[in-house]
Amino acid sequence: MSLGEIDDADFQAWADRVKGRIKHGDIKRELSKSSRNIGVQALRTFKANTPVDSGGLRRAWEVDGPSHSGGGWTITLNNNMEYASYVERGHRQTPGRYVPAIGKRLKASWVPGQWFMQRSLNQVNMQLPQLITPGLWAFEKILE
């Protein structure tokens, strides 16, 4: 049983065209552009979800990348404020102190976490298909 015939000359011409585009960096350039868009959107989302007291925590967000190594792309979001993890996960505090982030005085010694980083990460993960699709369309055009 045969599924059809393939003209080897046509296949070789297509393979040479794709190989040429890979050598010229077309695929890497398109994937880099999609990765950069993901980084920009992630930075916007993290900044928007970061609670504001003085604004320092929100202003401290930075994005590095994209960088390509091995078989993948890496985008790194940084926040160098020492207290970012405490705002994220919660922390102990002196009872009776007013906490602007939650808008009330503490009765207990535990300030609940805001979980803004986890919420932001979930939002970015839900947006990934829309953010990476333009790069996949460009990749498909390269393979035509």
pLDDT tens for residues 62-101? 999 899 888 788 999 999 999 999 999 998 887 777 878 7
Q: Is residue 77 part of a domain?
A: yes
Question: Residue 3 above 70 pLDDT?
Answer: no
Q: Is residue 112 part of a domain?
A: no
Instruction: Judge residue 53's burial from the number of C-beta atoms within 10 Å of its C-beta, 0-12 exposed, 13-18 middle, 19 or more buried.
Output: exposed
Angle subtended at Cα 141 by Cα 136 and Cα 144, rounded to the nearest 5 degrees? 130
Element of type H or E holding 68: strand 61-69
pTM of the model: 0.75
If one compares 117 and 14, the residue with the highest pLDDT of the two is 117
Q: Is residue 75 part of a domain?
A: yes
Domain extent, residue 131, equals 17-81+118-143
Q: Is residue 7 part of a domain?
A: no
Q: Is residue 111 part of a domain?
A: no
Q: Is residue 66 part of a domain?
A: yes
Q: Which two tokens stand for residue 119?
A: 């919420």
Read off the pLDDT of residues 93-129 as tens digits, 9 standing for 90 and up: 877 778 787 788 877 778 889 999 999 999 999 999 9
If one counts the domains in the chain, the total is: 1
Q: Is residue 51 part of a domain?
A: yes
Q: Is residue 88 part of a domain?
A: no
If one compares 71 and 37, the residue with the highest pLDDT of the two is 37
**Nearest-10 crossing angle of helices 8-23, 26-49:** 50
C-alpha distance from residue 107 to each of 38, 90, 94, 96 (Å): 41, 15, 9, 6
Q: Which two tokens stand for residue 21?
A: 């585009």
Q: Which two tokens stand for residue 74?
A: 């890496």
